Amino acid sequence: MLLEAKNVSKTFRSRRGTEPVHAVRNATLRARPGEFVAIVGESGSGKSTLARILLDLIPAGSGSVELDGVPISAMTRTQRVEYRRRVQAVLQDPAGSLNPRKRVEQTIGEVIRLHRIATTRSQVRDKVREVLGLVGMNPAEDFLDRFPHALSGGQRQRVLVARAIALNPKIIVADEAVSALDASVKAGVLRVMADLKDRLGVGYVFITHDLPVVRKVADHVYVMRSGEIVEEGPKEAVFAEPSHPYTRALLAAAPVLR
Ligand SMILES: Nc1ncnc2c1ncn2[C@@H]1O[C@H](COP(=O)(O)OP(=O)(O)O)[C@@H](O)[C@H]1O
Ligand SMILES: [Mg+2]
């Protein structure tokens, strides 16, 4: 399976007659199951806009997003629903990804029901338990009845990962999914995500401004600046021999990772 953004651009035009913002310019990217693809770049470089386009939350202005060569815009309704199941989002919880009024079991259970991964009450419950186990929330019983406010930041991100993998996705688009967490908690959630790549074969489009994170987990790296992908390559190559001055500047400014 191959997820591709082909020459994707997105311009936001404000109604008040200010200058249009070219959030993404001619971006081309490929992601596959079992591969950890990172997009790095400073704040405002267009990473989240590209993520939202990949997730089919907003349309590309031009260019296309394709799954195995089929553009989203050409998909039938059924194919599109299937696309949205196979390409899952893990966003930052402070962005409101978890409903504060829903317990963990309901949060995960309702997407399982919606996509008919399981139907009976006990099947759904088993699936919820299974995915909580996969993200290291053991025993699941301790978490099923909790509301988000009764979870730590790291646990909330794990629930978001669990909800995503409950749908058996091929690719997870994670936008700053661990950025708000403290170092040790961040490392734990990252380990879980990397582990799922190996155990389930899921792929990631992992978006972050955090270079040490990329250095730790990525296979392939795309560097964005002012809406453009200015550099791309296997992690080792990009870190060892950055070809673009911007990448060199980013690396020079990043804290050294031990
Ligand atoms: N809905 C929107 N309307 C207008 N401008 C937007 C919108 N979303 C993002 N932008 C602008 O697009 C640019 C890229 O933003 P974003 O994709 O969020 O970057 P990043 O995630 O790398 O910080 C920024 O200048 C931002 O202000
Ligand atoms: Mg962003």
pLDDT for position 93: 78
Contact predicate 218/184, CB 8 Å: no
CATH architecture assigned to 3-97+170-253: 3-Layer(aba) Sandwich (3.40)
- 29-81: pLDDT as tens digits: 999 999 999 999 999 999 999 999 999 999 999 999 999 999 999 999 999 99
Mutate to test the pocket of ligand 1, among 49, 91, 173, 230 (most ligand atoms within 8 A of CB): 49
Cβ 109 under 6 angstroms from ligand 1: no
Q: For the chain, which residues make up each domain, given as ranges?
A: 3-97+170-253
pLDDT for position 99: 94
Does the reported pTM lie above 0.85?
yes
Q: How many CB atoms lie within 10 A of CB 78?
A: 8
Cβ 208 under 6 angstroms from ligand 1: no
Distance CA 9, CA 62 (A): 5
Name the residue with the closest Cα to ligand 1, atom 6: 12
Average of pLDDT values for 103-114? 97
Place of tokens 């994707």: 8
pLDDT for position 256: 59
Helix (H, G, I), strand (E, B) or coil at 247: helix
Phi/psi-derived region of residue 228, left when phi > 0, alpha when psi is between -120 and 50, beta in every other case: beta
pLDDT for position 18: 83
Place of tokens 């186990």: 133
Residues 251, 51, 46: CA angle, nearest 5 degrees: 55
pLDDT for position 258: 40
Decide if pLDDT at 142 tops 80: yes
CA of 53 to the centre of ligand 2 (A): 13
Decide if pLDDT at 168 tops 50: yes
Kindly state the tokens that stand for 223. Answer: 């560097």
For residue 41, give the ligand nearest its CA.
1
Cβ 61 under 6 angstroms from ligand 1: no
- 169-202: pLDDT as tens digits: 999 999 999 999 999 999 999 999 999 999 999 9
Distance CA 135, CA 39 (A): 23
pLDDT for position 129: 98
Decide if pLDDT at 257 tops 90: no
Distance CA 161, CA 173 (A): 10
- 214-243: pLDDT as tens digits: 998 999 999 999 999 999 999 999 999 999
- 12-22: pLDDT as tens digits: 997 777 889 99
